[in-house]
Structure 1
Amino acid sequence: MELLNSFRRAALTVLALTLSILSYAQTGKISGTITDKKTGETLIGVTVKIKGTTKGVSTDVDGKYILQAMANGKYTLEFSYVGYQTKEVSDVEVKGPSVTSLNIVLNEAGGQNLQEVVVKANFKQESVNSLYAQQKNSALISDGISSDQIKKSPDRNTSDILKRVSGATVQDNKFVVVRGLSDRYNNATLDGASLPSTEPNRKAFSFDIVPSNLVDNLIVSKTATPDLPADFTGGAIQILTKDIPDNNFISFGIGAGYNTASTFKDFKSGVRNASDYFGFDNGDKALPANFPSRNKILAGLTPAHDIAAMNSLSSNWRTYNNTALPTQNYQFTLGRVKDFTESNNRFGALFSVTYRNSQTIYNDVIRDYVNYDYHDNAYKFSTNLGAIANFAYTFGKSKITLKNIYNRTYDDQYLDRQGYNKDRGRDIKFYAFDLMQKSLFKSTLEGTHPLGENNSKINWSLSYANILNDQPDQKKISYQRDPSLAGKEGYVYVAQTDNINKENSRLFSKLNEDNFSGGLNYTLPVKMFSQTSTFKAGLSSIYRKRSFDARFIGLQANQSSSLKDEVQRRSLSTLYGKDAINGGAYYLNDISLDADSYNAHSMTNAGYLMLDNKLGEKSRLVWGLRVEQFNVVLDAKVPTPQTSVNDDYVDFLPSANYTYSLTPKINLRASYYRTLARPEFRELASASVYDYELLALQQGNPGLKEAKIDNADIRFEFYPQAGQIISVSAFYKKFHNAIESFNSDGGSSRIITYINSDQVNVYGLELEFRKSLDFIAKNDFLKNTTFYTNLSLIKSKVETNNTGLNLKDVKRPMVGQAPYIINAGLQHSFLDNKLNFNVLYNRVGRRLNVAGGVLFPAIWEAPRDVIDLQLALKVIKNRGEIKFNAGDILNNRITQYYDNDLDKKYDRSKGDETISSYKPGSNYSLSFSYTF
């Protein structure tokens, strides 16, 4: 009997637990953000109630609310706030366990009587109203994509998302160009903190490192307000990642890709280790810790020490043959949220890990110009690791977040080159083994707190970032053969080891940079002109500290060695064999210069005051002043007046953005603002590095100054329906001391360096169109089909003082400025949004990459057509998704050239010379993701 009673108790317990779980599974949540309809400012402390019940919550400091444990069914919600009209929204349906998203816009009460008016709307109407308000309420000319739009697209990372932004173009699937300006004229922030450059030799950020499913909002601002950093001219790209998820979840994704030029083709490489697949070199390539210093080598080592030092270097010059495997992608994301029902506080955490490995072949790269007639084959093995860990805690109306991101890229490239050097009269074979390890770590602590009861708030942030670029043992060697000896005994390739220069040396370099930043912002609603306006003020500082170390080391032929001639005729795998080193065929040489390594630091302090004025019912003016003080110090490891930099700037940066709402669906905008472009450390450093792909030295200019840019914009916006837009914009930019790259060829060799161009004028016209095709015919198919396009037409003119620069063209287009950009696409949703189809087209006009010197002309990049196709199918109750992507389907050549006949077209038959031309291959990938 006791056993039976125990069984009954256990059965009842299991039944109760099951009913509890089933009951919980049948509950859902309602969440959203509440904003002012005219300004877009979030509202703190709005009361949200379920009509007919006592259940309710208040919005937090971000204007967000969440109603927990709602049983399935339809509800009417009531939103009330002092000074605003109360709003009731009906037909809000809960379908547990999912979250119903409802964003709300509230109108200010116009008088005492209007405060008693209750505005009524249903769920669908209010969703449309909210989307309209988001589109129209930006204080400046901008374009953005929300998390809801991202959910409906098959985009994998932030660079994919940016392809959909008007006026933006993505290069190499990671670098962004806005309004046709080169990436050095863009600024990027992640969760409110500036992002450092991820590239060692350019100012650019790799946007493919942030997964799309963690992006809450992405905004590209094309005009400036005082609260934005001033160092941009094309666009300020702001990425906000998610912090507190609506529900607990686990998701994973797996994918594979095929490249028509690479996958399953013969793949050559240097030595490969298992750790390479995880993004880390095993350390064999690094310069030994006890390796002799440059001074010791130049002073002369004993023969025994010389041989020991050479033998301590990695000696594996073998080439390995494999098969290029398909691209692999893996992603795991975990979201957790804890609600404290008694205090209404919440804690949330998001974790994400991504992994990608690709093996890419750049086959038959043509380099045919001046004295070169070369053909390259390059093989790149790449591993990318990424991780995000975000934490957030809301208490009362305050919120604190800690957001962390880590990314590591491992690129190991092997290149072989064959051809003819006309200047030397020799056949050439050239080999390069090149490993670059890059990492970025960034952590941001941020808090937002209300002050008083008038919707004022304070926001503060502290951020740290570290950037590492490690290039252990870039190995290069050239062989030559005299074609006039064909058929004779001496007709062999001979290794060029008689002299060591930067073309055939081994480079060991490491860049390490630490960034520290902090900011404080204050927002206060004020009454002006009988309207509620917003006053904002803030302070911020960014401190950057960088060290760059480079050593150029080579094994130089010993002219007195009896082994010299035999060794120089050896194949690459045995050229530097231990028998040759121990036999005295080589001695160690270090050709590093004092300026090849440097230390640098900079400090940027900024403060701003701004007002967001509503001038009547239809007008809005956002205006103010930003002041930035900037100091940069750079010294070579052995400082000289020619290599040292110590510059101070104080800049006053006014801006004004005016918006007039002609109708509820039409905005007219006008803007003026001043921005900056500051030289990067690399652009200032005299360090000279040979780029074997560009066949040129890259070197900075310590005399480079910051650029100042005056900007003006006007824009007409028409929103025919929510989520749709027709706009026309015109803009003008006047650069003072624009920063540009050019071919410095005062000597016989080419050095790519940087100059300040005196006066640059840029004029542009933009057209954006996003509209469903239901205007053709009223049916569901066309209603669910959206056509979008944006077209930019841009004209730039540079006038440069040629004094001491050896420039060929003092009047020309601006470097990096495209004359036109075309983006177009067609999107269709089938099966109640379960199947989404996207096709995208992009074309960027011919643009100047490097300004011309006298001996070496300007380098142009030819336009190419790019078509991408994306197909996404939701499966397994919308928890799973299968995605098919086809990228660069046309596979047009990527070409840079000298336009010798000046006809603005690339044509080798008419004398144009090819700097680089190759087909990258089309990419096809299939992936599957699932969320628990």
Structure 2
Amino acid sequence: MHKRLIILLSLITTIGFSQNPEKGTLVGKLLDIDLGNQSLPFANVQIKGTSKGATTDFDGLYKIENLDPGTYTVVFSFVGYTSVEVSDVEIVADKVTEVNTSLTSSAASLQEVIITIVSRKDSEVALLLEQRGAISIKESIGSQQLAKLGVSDAAVATTKISGVSNSEGSGDIYVRGLGDRYLLTTLNGLPIPSDDVEKKNIDLSLFPTRLVQNISISKSYSVNMYGDQASGNVDITSRELVGNEEYSLGFSTGINTEAIGANDFKLGAYQSDVNLGFYNNNPNNFNALTQQSWNTESVDAPVNQNFNLTAGKKFGDKFRTLVTASQKSNFEFRSGTFQEYDNNNFRDGFTDVEEFRKEVTTSALLDLSYRFNDKNKVKFTSLFVNKLSGQVFEAGRNGEGVVFDEVDPQSDLNQFIRDQNIKKTQLWVNQLIGESKIGVHNIDWAVGLNTVNADEPNRIRNEINFTDTRVELGRTGGFQQRKSNQIIDDYEVNGKINDSFKITNLKEEENDFGLKVDVGGNYRFKERDFESQFNGIQETNLNNVNPPSIDDLSSVFTLDNVENGLLSYVSQKPDSYLGKLESLGGYALFNYKMEKWNFNFGGRFESNTIKVNWNVNNFPGRIGAATKEYENFLPSLNLKYELNDNNNLRLSASKTITLPEFKEISPFEYVSPNGQVTRGNPNLEASENYNLDLKWEMFPSNGELISVAGFYKQINDPINRVLTRGAAGIFSYFNSGEQAEIYGLELDTKLDVIAKDKDLGYMVNVNFNATRMWHEQDLKEVFEIINGENRLTRTFRYNGKTKTDLQGASDWIFNANTTFETSGENPFVANISANYASEKIFALGNPDNQVNPDEFFNEEIREQGFVVLNAVLRKDINENLSVQLIGKNLLNPQIERTQTIKPLSTGVSREEVVRSYTRGAQLSIGFNYNF
């Protein structure tokens, strides 16, 4: 591994300082004053004193690429019209400059000229132009549009793209019905690690939109990407300095309607160890059993706050710097119900589940770029995120709680559980990126070093029985009263290199460039060190101690009660695993353009090795290991046909893989606050994915899009989260299907209902996308040769069911938003947006008894669909100050998971809600000042 890394770094060092001079782009729209500011087609746009120029299209749009950085005069002319010269137009490397103006046949004075300089991946117009010219199927959303939508983080931003939904408003997203394990997340094109042992991809809500320049999802695969994906690659492009300098301050405050309405908002016992959003204690949980409080704390005013600042400056023509930092704190209160069934029989249930959550996220981004000369430039990006999540989970306070293991038919005891948890995530990403030119070879390169510390340093669990007159500790003993900790240390190095060169038509100005070749490779080494330990305290005899109330447990968990023999310590040997992933890929990609056709095809060879060594309590013999080695040839084909200047037709076909994750392989059991367990499966294997896409897109005018896409995916040996046989509430991962198929249709529109008009003074545009999917997978039966006979040893079929839907896939997904925007010096923007995804499988069902799978089984759990409605009002007070009102989740829908129950005693099916809650609406007001 180290030899391969040294070779890659040597290649990058060799070419790192022979760079390609970056170019800028000029775009815009030309209007006809005499025809009421309608588009003026077929006009000439010329860079004065050069041969560079363009002709406006039918919609008055023009685009001039490959301009050297500098200041130019742009001449607009049309036969019979007065020519207009616009001076001091600055072209910036790797940026898009927009110049929009008008012509008239009279000698009227020059109309308004709008000049803006934006990043290529910042402006909505620039992104649409990029999408129009791209070969693969890719959709993006930039920071300008995100600001209009009032989007706070990258997770919500992705749901504005067609075919994308999220689960329960969390950072988990689904693209075309495929979730976490089928996605790949990158930052500036390089992989970033997960912050959560339960997930492959990082929680996108960790990325505030202030750090984001652009978010794109590549829905079709190309061989220059890692092959571990099926539904897409989510790439976040971090911010960089736009213009010569930028200084701003921002502040917002607000409430969550459920949190502010809670009678007593609870914080965990760990809160005293939190300072300025950082957790400053790593307690020995064994000693903490008697020396640290078990009782919750309270906060009088759970008010959300957000502070941010940005500073950036260009020094000369070579050095650009940008620093942006923010801290936000959010409170959330969830109340609802929880039920659990085993073999269609009621097991546990609570009608008063309450969750109190407080999150403080501190983030900082440093972006530096230096141009050594006209041919050399280096870019360094460093991102730091510290997220502190505190949670208090309570159920059974109302005296109606039932826990199967604790039920005593001879008593009137009720069950109460409380889980207090603090989770701290520290992510640090460092990247060095560059572009190089050696003769006709254009070389892109990048190296990254990532670290993640995602710890649960102080988790407190209590399981209590009580009546109106007494409180007892849980009777089953063990770790019902415990303090635990969990540590995740991730380390990753990665790199990429790509050489792009043209075989024919080498002139840079020519668009029909003939054959272009890309060759390159990717390398990734990732290591995860995981450890978890339980320490508990229990009675030596039943009712040795009786707390005065369920809110004062600390009064009995004392050192005196341990020393006098009423209580005793219990400790579990730590669970741990060490996971290593090494991925090495090389590819060749060919692109041939001929008039209206563009053929893009290539192949990738990728080698992936996953090794996991574990030492866990629930595995026979505790110690075990698994090694998974995969070598694959992954082809891709992307075709594009330009029907005319405004219409494209695209076809894409590819093969990809889905690798199992460390946590999916290791048999460690992670216990959620409600007691449900997720366990890894060492026998899990990778899936093979075959992808096919067909898309038509039309660009009616500047900033507008209409597209229709059809897609099909076949997944062999799909990986699913499944309710396992045995005790209820245990989930694991299996290749439970022989084959899964998913196909669907996507409609995406971005339309100007009322185009921006100087006389009218405002504009209205509507974005709408809808996705309809059909999906199904065969449930597997596993046969083994035993004593010469082919015997059924495991089945995932039950209750007569041989097929089921794909986990995480919704039949329908809708995203819509409408924006009203005034023109002038101090514009007003109003936006309303809504998202809906219909029901989907949260976890597959499974037979509990392999002999009688049609009688003893647990049915699948489904997450019901719900609507999320957001609104934003923003007003620029002057050129420096703006104010913004934001309302999120305004409908505050009930979020439900349901399960079909069919008791053997009656044989009659009924639908039960096994989890429900509301999250509350978020209302805030914010101010931003640009110096």
TM-score by length of 2: 0.80
How far apart are 1:463 and its partner, in Å? 0.6
Structure 1 CA distance for aligned equivalents of residues 92 and 578 of structure 2 = 53
The yes-or-no answer on 1:67 pairing with 2:70 is yes
**Structure 1 residue corresponding to 2:349, chosen from 365, 370, 373:** 373
Structure 1 CA distance for aligned equivalents of residues 499 and 251 of structure 2 = 44
Is the 1:791–1:820 contact (alpha carbons within 8 Å) kept by the matching residues of 2? yes
Structure 2 CA distance for aligned equivalents of residues 568 and 274 of structure 1 = 24
User: Match of 1:652?
Assistant: 633
How far apart are 1:692 and its partner, in Å? 2.8
**Structure 2 residue corresponding to 1:830, chosen from 822, 835, 838:** 822
How far apart are 1:202 and its partner, in Å? 1.7
Change (3 A) 1:767 1:467: same
User: Match of 2:379?
Assistant: 401
Matches within 5 A, 1:296-315: 310=287, 314-315=291-292
The yes-or-no answer on 1:627 pairing with 2:617 is no
Structure 2 CA distance for aligned equivalents of residues 367 and 928 of structure 1 = 44
Is the 2:332–2:920 contact (alpha carbons within 8 Å) kept by the matching residues of 1? no
Matches within 5 A, 1:361-440: 361-367=333-339, 370-374=346-350, 375-395=352-372, 396-418=374-396, 419-421=400-402, 423=404, 424-425=407-408, 426-440=413-427
**Structure 1 residue corresponding to 2:871, chosen from 869, 872, 876:** 869
Matches within 5 A, 1:607-626: 607-614=586-593, 616-626=594-604
Change (3 A) 1:845 1:356: same
Change (3 A) 1:49 1:685: same
User: Match of 1:512?
Assistant: 489
The yes-or-no answer on 1:760 pairing with 2:747 is no
User: Match of 1:43?
Assistant: none
How far apart are 1:175 and its partner, in Å? 3.2
Change (3 A) 1:313 1:467: farther
User: Match of 1:320?
Assistant: 297
How far apart are 1:256 and its partner, in Å? 0.8
The yes-or-no answer on 1:840 pairing with 2:798 is no
Structure 1 CA distance for aligned equivalents of residues 871 and 213 of structure 2 = 24
Change (3 A) 1:723 1:445: same
Gaps of 5+ in 1: 1-30, 38-47, 56-61, 79-88, 106-121, 289-308, 341-345, 903-908
Structure 2 CA distance for aligned equivalents of residues 782 and 743 of structure 1 = 58
Matches within 5 A, 1:212-251: 212-251=209-248
User: Match of 2:518?
Assistant: 536
User: Match of 2:434?
Assistant: 447
- After superposition, give the CA deviation of every residue in 1:53-103 in whole Å (9 maximum; x if it has no partner): 999xxxxxx9675436x8xxx65499xxxxxxxxxx964355999999755
The residue type paired with residue 373 of structure 1 is G
Change (3 A) 1:848 1:476: same
Change (3 A) 1:35 1:758: farther
- After superposition, give the CA deviation of every residue in 1:352-373 in whole Å (9 maximum; x if it has no partner): 1110112221124444752223
The yes-or-no answer on 1:850 pairing with 2:843 is yes
User: Match of 1:470?
Assistant: 455
- After superposition, give the CA deviation of every residue in 1:485-513 in whole Å (9 maximum; x if it has no partner): x9xxxx63310166214x54322110111
Is the 2:25–2:91 contact (alpha carbons within 8 Å) kept by the matching residues of 1? no
- After superposition, give the CA deviation of every residue in 1:246-287 in whole Å (9 maximum; x if it has no partner): 21121111001211101263211233546525232231x522
Structure 1 CA distance for aligned equivalents of residues 357 and 175 of structure 2 = 28
Change (3 A) 1:783 1:899: farther
Is the 1:462–1:519 contact (alpha carbons within 8 Å) kept by the matching residues of 2? yes
How far apart are 1:394 and its partner, in Å? 1.6
**Structure 2 residue corresponding to 1:190, chosen from 187, 192, 211:** 187
Is the 2:250–2:927 contact (alpha carbons within 8 Å) kept by the matching residues of 1? yes
The yes-or-no answer on 1:145 pairing with 2:132 is no
Structure 2 CA distance for aligned equivalents of residues 54 and 181 of structure 1 = 49
Is the 1:498–1:557 contact (alpha carbons within 8 Å) kept by the matching residues of 2? no
Is the 1:264–1:323 contact (alpha carbons within 8 Å) kept by the matching residues of 2? no
**Structure 2 residue corresponding to 1:729, chosen from 706, 709, 714:** 709
Structure 2 CA distance for aligned equivalents of residues 238 and 701 of structure 1 = 30
Structure 1 CA distance for aligned equivalents of residues 559 and 115 of structure 2 = 77
Matches within 5 A, 1:3-402: 33-34=24-25, 51=48, 65-67=68-70, 75-76=74-75, 91-92=85-86, 94=88, 102-103=96-97, 133-150=129-146, 154-171=150-167, 172=169, 174-263=171-260, 265=262, 266-271=264-269, 273=271, 276-283=274-281, 286-287=283-284, 310=287, 314-340=291-317, 346-367=318-339, 370-374=346-350, 375-395=352-372, 396-402=374-380
The residue type paired with residue 582 of structure 1 is E
The residue type paired with residue 477 of structure 2 is N
Matches within 5 A, 1:683-832: 683-693=664-674, 695-745=675-725, 747-756=726-735, 757-774=737-754, 784-803=763-782, 804-805=794-795, 807-808=797-798, 809-832=801-824
Structure 2 CA distance for aligned equivalents of residues 720 and 50 of structure 1 = 26
The residue type paired with residue 710 of structure 1 is Y
- After superposition, give the CA deviation of every residue in 1:439-492 in whole Å (9 maximum; x if it has no partner): 11110111211112x4x31122111111111112311111124x8xx9xxxx63
Change (3 A) 1:498 1:274: closer
Structure 2 CA distance for aligned equivalents of residues 162 and 197 of structure 1 = 17
- After superposition, give the CA deviation of every residue in 1:645-669 in whole Å (9 maximum; x if it has no partner): 1111001110101111111111111
SS in structure 2 of the partner of residue 227 of structure 1: coil
The residue type paired with residue 197 of structure 1 is S
SS in structure 1 of the partner of residue 217 of structure 2: strand
Structure 2 CA distance for aligned equivalents of residues 782 and 733 of structure 1 = 47
Change (3 A) 1:807 1:467: farther
TM-score by length of 1: 0.80
The residue type paired with residue 432 of structure 2 is L
- After superposition, give the CA deviation of every residue in 1:152-203 in whole Å (9 maximum; x if it has no partner): 5543433343232222234435333222222332111111211211222122
Change (3 A) 1:324 1:703: farther
Is the 1:277–1:383 contact (alpha carbons within 8 Å) kept by the matching residues of 2? no
Change (3 A) 1:376 1:312: closer
Gaps of 5+ in 2: 1-21, 29-44, 53-64, 78-82, 100-112, 118-122, 507-511, 783-793, 848-856
SS in structure 2 of the partner of residue 769 of structure 1: strand
SS in structure 2 of the partner of residue 773 of structure 1: strand
Change (3 A) 1:222 1:524: same
The residue type paired with residue 165 of structure 1 is I
User: Match of 1:111?
Assistant: none
Is the 2:149–2:871 contact (alpha carbons within 8 Å) kept by the matching residues of 1? no
Change (3 A) 1:310 1:788: closer
Fraction of identical pairs, as percent? 21
Is the 1:543–1:601 contact (alpha carbons within 8 Å) kept by the matching residues of 2? yes
The residue type paired with residue 788 of structure 1 is N
Change (3 A) 1:207 1:313: same
Change (3 A) 1:779 1:815: same
Structure 1 CA distance for aligned equivalents of residues 27 and 596 of structure 2 = 14
Change (3 A) 1:102 1:633: closer
Structure 1 CA distance for aligned equivalents of residues 720 and 158 of structure 2 = 25
Which has more helix, going by share of residues? 1
The yes-or-no answer on 1:526 pairing with 2:528 is no
Is the 1:872–1:881 contact (alpha carbons within 8 Å) kept by the matching residues of 2? yes
User: Match of 1:117?
Assistant: none
Change (3 A) 1:838 1:634: same
SS in structure 2 of the partner of residue 136 of structure 1: helix
User: Match of 2:41?
Assistant: none
The residue type paired with residue 590 of structure 1 is S
Is the 1:245–1:337 contact (alpha carbons within 8 Å) kept by the matching residues of 2? no
User: Match of 1:457?
Assistant: 442
The yes-or-no answer on 1:897 pairing with 2:891 is no
